[in-house]
Amino acid sequence: MAVADIATRVRAGDSTAVAVVEEYLAKIRSTDGDVHAFNLVTADVALAQASAVDDAVASGHDPGPLAGVPIALKDNMCTEGIDTTCSSKILEGWKPPYNGTVVDRLRDAGAILVGKTNLDEFAMGSSTENSAFGPTKNPHDLGRVPGGSSGGSAASVAAGMAALSFGSDTGGSIRQPAALCGVVGVKPTYGAVSRYGLIAFASSLDQIGPFATTVEDAALALEVIAGHDPLDSTSIPSPAPALLPELDKGVDGLRIGVISELANAADPDVAERMTAALGALEAAGAKIVEVSVPAVVYGLTAYYLIAPAEASSNLARFDGVRYGLRVDGADVQEMMIRTRTAGFGDEVKARIMLGTFALSAGYYDAFYGKAQRLRTMVRRDFDAVYQNVDALISPTSPSIAFEFGDKSDPLAMYKCDVCTIPSNLGGDPAMSVPFGTGDHSMPVGVQVLAPPNGEQMMFRVAAAVERAAP
Amino acid sequence: MTALSRDEVAHVAALARLDLDEAALDHFTDHLSSVLDYAAEIDSLDLSDIPPMVHPLPLRNVFRRDAVGGVVDREAVLAQAPDQDGERFRIPPILGEK
């Protein structure tokens, strides 16, 4: 059932939040043993929250636009008193003493937390294989990855275990798993959604966004979580735009660009789907133009220098002093080394060291400094292209979901993010919309990109893509 | 840019407060070298007249009023620490003292 329909029924008293939540908890019990989308199922919390929503309705109070809607949160968002692990042994058992802003806004809108979802450790990965607690499986084929890093969040919605879920996207970690699992995934403009309470990976790139089964549900979810937050100094001060009124406007007369550098990066089955989506947009009245964004070919290199550099700094806080794991040592230095060595997995260690190297004396200018200049080039290239088009289209992922263990070479895994990284570097909004299936009947996503603060245009185009989807 | 040596990886690991055994040193030397080899594609680019971009927003110096706001309870914070004395985090010796 659509999210808006669930909320409408609960707000009207036609259904109870408890009944809705029990239905989803039953689905989790029957399905998650196979899929492993969840690190933690919060059944008791969910039923208590649902009862509170039902009490509010009974006493004549409106619980909000997500009344009784079961949601799942990526396990890198702080939830007061509820385990928040980042799928890392270094935070296993930690219960944050506060809620992230997104968590509070969802609760205040009447949403019900059914669980915390699995991820690549500290959101570093594109398959959820890097979780310290075991991988999540793709609900469409349990032998294939769900994508990542927000693989648990994508799989939870794809398998009907949550009506909405939320993830974080640093280089594609919402959009790529959304594409691979056949759901909608949105990375909003940098600063559109508060990161207060999101455990930081790469602070100049991280952004929270929703997963949903439809573009309309995603719009409703983003309307709830977006908007200025004084607790996040990178939060955009202006009010968040209304999205739902955009969905039915159509694309007649719009100019939509297809990014040639990214179109050429996709496998044939994915490229065929994107071409079909472009044909549908053209049939709906849009003018399709091929455009070049030359700097995106260096996006992967820029990202894999900038993101590890920021991560090496952000993850310095995991030192065994204030929270999480501590492995004792004779002095504080030995304690910190033992704790970090035992607590972090291999991919996290690799990225911390890569970032430490990129920032170290003698290498800063050649690596980190140059990557930042490339970032300016990506921004300038996008700005130039948006002089002539309203929105852009590309594949979301260059391939369908791959099999477990298929990308053991780190560079092969990093290249999964080639189409999604440019939006993080530029700070632009982008979203993935399902558009049929490719090889092996696996889902394919089409990416819709828009200029900074262009969420209204992005959702307008995304809705048109969805209407034309098979 | 050139591939990293084992000694360089050991140095970076020490800076990052990580302890690598011989097998891990080999593993990470290969991993990091392959990424840096790929990154060598930007060696030949002359970007000296392009300004660096630190983050996407044109925000500068975000201030708030100098007033006490919501604070997280100290006991709740300390309760999550690996070791504490009721008022502070407790850690092993820093300067070799007993």
Do the chains contact at B81 and A323, CB–CB below 8 Å?
A: yes
**For position B1, what pLDDT does the model report?**
46
Is residue B88 domain-resident? no
Please give the single-letter amino acid code of residue A179: A
A409-413, A439-443, B56-60, B78-82: range with lowest mean pLDDT: B56-60
Residues of chain A where predicted confidence (pLDDT) is lower than 50: none
List of chain B residues whose C-beta atoms are within 8 Å of the C-beta of residue A323: 80-82
Structural domain that includes position B25: 6-43
B62 found inside a domain: no
The number of distinct structural domains making up chain B is 1
Cα separation, A272 vs A289, in Å, equals 17
The CATH number of whichever domain residue B37 belongs to comes to 1.10.20
- Asked if residue B58 belongs to a domain, the reply is no
pLDDT of residue A19: 98
- Measure in Å the smallest separation between the Cα of B97 and chain A Cα atoms: 9
Q: Are A211 and A240 in contact (CB under 8 A)?
A: no
Nearest CA in chain B to A380: B50
For residue A77, give the DSSP letter: B
* ipTM of predicted assembly, 2 dp: 0.95
CA–CA separation, A85 and A87 (whole Å):
5
Distance (Å) from the alpha carbon of B13 to chain A's nearest alpha carbon: 6
pTM over 0.95: yes
Catalytically annotated residues of A:
74, 149, 173
Average pLDDT over residues B4-23: 96
Q: What pairs with residue B84 in β-bridges?
A: B89
Distance CA A268, CA A273 (A): 9
Q: Residue B70 — very low, low, confident or very high, per pLDDT cuts 50/70/90? A: confident
List pLDDT tens digits, range A403-413: 999 999 999 99
Domains of chain A: 3-246 (3.90.1300.10)
pLDDT at A354: 96
pLDDT on residue A436: 98
- Of A362, A358, A434, give the one whose Cα is nearest residue A401: A434
Chain B residues whose CB is inside 8 A of the A236 CB are 57
Contacts of B2 in chain A (CB under 8 A): none
- Residue in A with minimal Cα distance to B56: A427
**What is the chain B residue with the closest CA to A203?**
B55
Q: Reduced to 3 states, what is the DSSP secondary structure of residue A257?
A: strand
Omega before residue A59 within 30° of 0, cis: no
DSSP H helical segments within A315-368, as ranges? 332-343, 346-359
Picking from A462, A466, A467, the residue whose alpha carbon sits closest to that of residue A222 is A462
Question: DSSP secondary structure string, B29-92?
Answer: HHHHHHHHHHHGGGTT---TTSPP---SS--------SS------HHHHHTTSSSB-SSSB--S
| Residue A186, beta-bridge partner list | A431
Instruction: Count contacts between A and B (CB, < 8 Å).
Output: 160
Q: What is the pLDDT of residue B97?
A: 66
